[in-house]
A and B are shown apart, each in its own frame.
Chain A
Amino acid sequence: NFMLTQPHSVSESPGKTVTISCTRSSGGIASNFVQWYQQRPGSSPTTVIYENNQRFSGVPLRFSASIDSSSNSASLTISGLKTEDEADYYCQSYTGNNWVFGGGTKLTVL
């Protein structure tokens, strides 16, 4: 099985743009779809991005994602940061029916 590596934490000011990376350890990043989930403190996870770059219903256009085969990584970009974006973000892919999560990135908006 492969691993997905994310930065432990990132921080940025309101109104700015932040990018969270997710690097796949083996196998091509394009081999399987990458998803991104948001989990705010005390809440359930929610789907933000699915199938590499598709925004889930209701997710603002400020959220975008992509994959890069040259770096074997995926990235989630949030522009025009708002305090409500403060949360843990997880990338996820799969092998067969087995899910693989990244370790999660704590986004602080200060």
Chain B
Amino acid sequence: EVQLMESGGGLVQSGGSLRLSCAGSGFTFSAYWMSWVRRAPGKGLEWVANIQRDGSEKTYVDSVKGRFTISRDNAKNSVYLQMDSLRVEDTAIYYCARCGKYCGGDSLWGQGTLVTVSS
């Protein structure tokens, strides 16, 4: 089955760190850009970061630059989001998506993982 499965969410204190993982299955993972998108409570969707097929190009939304790092391990069919210096406003459901600049005809979304940052 073609799917993405996120893990690693949880409760963390402000200033803490968390590492999200997203495992792909059923498709050639290394052939696709991957992205992270989040939705905070009561807010809309916000793009967080994306990474090129071989990991050589990474782009971030301004609000997470210098705090979050996207990476991938194509041998493990996985993409990661290392989140440091977490803030209360980072509280959200984080989704990984098989998308580059946008989600096209071959896009795929994960089920999401909840990150809660307490003060």
Contact = CB atoms under 8 A, between A and B. Distances in A.
Contact of A104 (B45, B50, B111): B45
Interface stretch (B23-31, B80-88, B95-103): B95-103
Contacts of B97: 45
A30 to B, nearest CB: 14
Main SS at interface, chain B: loop
- Chain A contact residues (Cβ within 8 angstroms of B): what range? 20 to 34
B103 A47 contact: yes
A45 B37 contact: yes
A97 interface: yes
Interface in A63-110: 88, 90, 92-94, 96-104
Interface residues of B, number: 24
Given A97-B50, A99-B101, A46 B45 contact: no
Contact of A57 (B47, B103, B105): B105
Nearest to B57: A97
Main SS at interface, chain A: strand
Contacts of B37: 45, 99
Contacts of A44: 95, 109-112
A97 B111 CA distance: 23
B21 interface: no
Contact of B59 (A33, A51, A98): A98
Nearest to B102: A35
Given A44-B109, A45-B37, A50-B107, A104 B44 contact: yes
13 contacts: A32-B101, A35-B103, A37-B45, A44-B111, A45-B37, A51-B102, A56-B105, A92-B102, A92-B103, A97-B59, A99-B50, A101-B45, A103-B44
Q: Which 7 A-B pairs have the closest CB atoms?
A: A99-B47, A104-B44, A97-B59, A47-B103, A94-B101, A47-B107, A44-B109
Interface of B: 35, 37, 39, 44-47, 50, 57, 59, 61, 95, 97, 100-105, 107, 109-112
Interface of A: 32-33, 35, 37, 39, 44-47, 50-51, 54, 56-57, 88, 90, 92-94, 96-104
